[in-house]
Amino acid sequence: MSHDPRGDRYWKEQAESFSSLYGGRRRLSPKAFVTRFLDARGSLLELLADAPDQVRVLDLGCGSGVHLAQLAPRCRRLVGADYSERMLRLAHGASRGAAGLVLSDAHALPLRDASFDLVVSLGLLDYVRSPPDVLRECRRVLAPGGRLVLSAPKTPSAFAWLRSRLGNRIKQAVFDLPPIVNVFDRAGLLQLLRETGFVPTDVASVWTTMWMVRATRQEATTRGGGWA
């Protein structure tokens, strides 16, 4: 999904390294900073993904399955999709078999139209080749009135220096993380969502470095082929 080969290798070959950042207790380690950020993101997901029980949920870019485990109690159907086989093996254990798992590129999902009520996608738009194509796939698999909860790297950000060439080297050496490919300002992200068929309803910021957005699937008009 990434168009940076370092990102491709990281997610396919170092799944265990990233998974270890969740829930760790590294008070004196720089990686504790990343763990606290991921915990904050997960807490905000709990608020934004607020949905009735028995919904059909897709976690797109599910990674090692942390959010599958978080969402499982409220789901009638739960599916995790990722393009890393190693991540999906970890996700199977994390979800304790509660989720169906799909090996797939986010740009072309092997899933039926209108088959989910909620799509969650955290830490995915950071790395994909074409964010608009991924968002169109999210809309396609959502049922009418369905909701999308996503995260996206934020600009401006107090941590923007970590996205520079030197910053990427430091991030890799200290945190063992790949370079981010895509960043968004607020207006640009909301415009992208509207152009791909969504109505943004909630926008929040996590540590000034990441947007969290909730949006609703918008229905197409019968005139002009646009969105309602």
Across the range 98-123, mean pLDDT stands at 97
In DSSP terms, 187 is beta-bridged to: none
How many C-beta atoms lie closer than 10 Å to residue 201's C-beta? 12
Beta-strand (E) ranges in 36-156? 55-60, 75-82, 100-103, 116-121, 142-153
Percent share of the chain, pLDDT over 70: 91
User: CATH number for the domain including 86?
Assistant: 3.40.50.150
* Complete edge-to-edge strand list for the sheet that includes strand 210-217: 100-103, 75-82, 55-60, 116-121, 142-153, 210-217, 198-206
Structural domain of 21: 5-217
Residue range 20-62, pLDDT digits in tens = 888 766 566 778 888 999 999 999 999 999 877 779 999 999 9
Q: Can you give the pLDDT at residue 4?
A: 58
**Torsion sign over Cα 81, 85, 86, 89:** positive
Residue 222 within any structural domain of the chain: no
Number of domains in the chain: 1
Q: Is 121 part of any domain?
A: yes
φ, ψ of residue 156 to 5 degrees: the values are -70, 160
First to last CA, the chain: 30
Residue 227 lies in a domain: no
CB count within 10 Å of CB 219 equals 12
**Summary mean pLDDT of the chain:** 89
Q: What pLDDT is recorded for position 11?
A: 80
* pLDDT at position 7: 63
When pLDDT is averaged across residues 151-157 and rounded to a whole number, the result is 95
The confidence score (pLDDT) of residue 1 equals: 41
| Residue 137: inside a domain | yes
Which pLDDT tens digit goes with each residue over 175-222? 888 889 999 999 999 999 999 999 999 999 999 999 999 999 998 754
Which position has the higher pLDDT, 159 or 90? 90
Tokens 């991921």 locate to: 38
Least confident of 85-99, 128-142, 188-202: 85-99
Looking at residue 18, its pLDDT comes to: 86
Q: Check if the beta carbon of residue 184 is closer than 8 Å to that of residue 13.
A: no
Is the separation of the CB atoms in 177 and 127 below 8 Å? no
